[in-house]
Amino acid sequence: SLMEGQEVEFYVVNEQGGGGRGSKKGSGGGKSLSARKIKLLPEGTVKFEHELAQGVTGYVLECPVEAPSADSFFGGPSKKSGGGGSCNTAAAAVVMGKICLDTPIIDTDGNEVTEVVLHPDMYPCGTFTLSRTSGEVGIWIRPGDTLLFDVIQIIADGTYRAMPTKHSQCLSLRSEELTTDDMSSNKALIRLVKPSLCGRTEGVIRSIRDNYGFIHSAERNVDVYFPLFEVMPNEIHSDLINNNPDVYNGTDPVQNKSGRIHVEVGMEVSFDLSLQILTNAGGGGRGGGGGRSRQNNFGAAQEKEGLRGRRVQILPKGSVQEKFLIASQVKATVTKVDPKQPFIGMMELEEPLTIQSANLRHPLVKKLLDAISAGNYGDEITFHDVLGEIDSQLVVSMVKSRDDLDWLYVPVSGDNAEHPHNRKLR
The pLDDT score that the predictor gives to residue 176 is 81
User: On the CB side of 422, how many CA atoms lie within 13 Å of its CA?
Assistant: 9
The pLDDT score that the predictor gives to residue 21 is 53
Residue 242 confidence (pLDDT) above 90: yes
The pLDDT score that the predictor gives to residue 166 is 94
Q: For the whole model, what pTM was predicted?
A: 0.78
The pLDDT score that the predictor gives to residue 293 is 40
Give phi and psi for 402, each to the nearest 5. -110, 150
Q: Are 164 and 123 in contact (CB under 8 A)?
A: no
* Residues 277-286, mean pLDDT to the nearest whole number: 48
Instruction: Measure Cα distances from 277 to 84, 304, 425 in Å.
Output: 17, 6, 17
User: On the CB side of 369, how many CA atoms lie within 13 Å of its CA?
Assistant: 21
Q: How confident is the model at residue 253 (pLDDT cuts 50, 70, 90)?
A: confident
In DSSP terms, 11 is beta-bridged to: 36
Higher pLDDT, 283 or 34: 34
Q: What angle do CA 222, 287, 128 make, to 5 degrees?
A: 105
* Residues 102-130, mean pLDDT to the nearest whole number: 91
The pLDDT score that the predictor gives to residue 304 is 56
**b/e 9-46 (16+ beta carbons within 10 angstroms → b):** eeeeeeeeebeeeebeeeeeebebeeeeeeeeeeeeee
The pLDDT score that the predictor gives to residue 152 is 97
* Residues 140-156, mean pLDDT to the nearest whole number: 95
Q: How confident is the model at residue 279 (pLDDT cuts 50, 70, 90)?
A: low
Q: Are 232 and 140 in contact (CB under 8 A)?
A: yes
The pLDDT score that the predictor gives to residue 227 is 93
* Residues 106-116, mean pLDDT to the nearest whole number: 95
Residue 364 confidence (pLDDT) above 80: yes
**Residue 287 DSSP code:** G
Q: How confident is the model at residue 72 (pLDDT cuts 50, 70, 90)?
A: very low
Enumerate the domain spans of the chain: 8-40, 48-175+185-194, 200-426
Higher pLDDT, 403 or 131: 403
Q: How confident is the model at residue 136 (pLDDT cuts 50, 70, 90)?
A: confident
* Residues 259-288, mean pLDDT to the nearest whole number: 73
Above pLDDT 90, what percent of the chain? 48
The pLDDT score that the predictor gives to residue 158 is 92
The pLDDT score that the predictor gives to residue 415 is 54
Average pLDDT in the chain: 82
Q: How confident is the model at residue 134 (pLDDT cuts 50, 70, 90)?
A: low
Residue 157: partners with Cβ closer than 8 Å, 6 or more residues away: none
Least confident of 149-153, 211-215, 219-223: 219-223
User: On the CB side of 48, how many CA atoms lie within 13 Å of its CA?
Assistant: 2
Residue 139's closest CA among 383, 315, 384, 306? 384
The pLDDT score that the predictor gives to residue 195 is 96
Residue 277's closest CA among 416, 415, 423? 423
Higher pLDDT, 312 or 19: 312
In DSSP terms, 13 is beta-bridged to: 34
Please count the residues of the chain: 426
DSSP-based three-state secondary structure for 183: helix
Higher pLDDT, 340 or 287: 340
- Torsion angle, CA of 382/137/223/396, rounded to 10 degrees? 10
Residue 84 confidence (pLDDT) above 50: no
Residue 183 confidence (pLDDT) above 90: no
In DSSP terms, 284 is beta-bridged to: none
Tell me how far apart the alpha carbons of residues 273 and 225 are, in angstroms, rounded to a whole number.
10
The pLDDT score that the predictor gives to residue 249 is 86
Residue 272's closest CA among 84, 57, 39, 419? 84
Q: Are 149 and 105 in contact (CB under 8 A)?
A: no
- Helix 363-373 / helix 389-400 crossing angle, nearest 10 deg: 50
- Range with top average pLDDT, 177-181, 200-204, 283-287, 391-395: 200-204
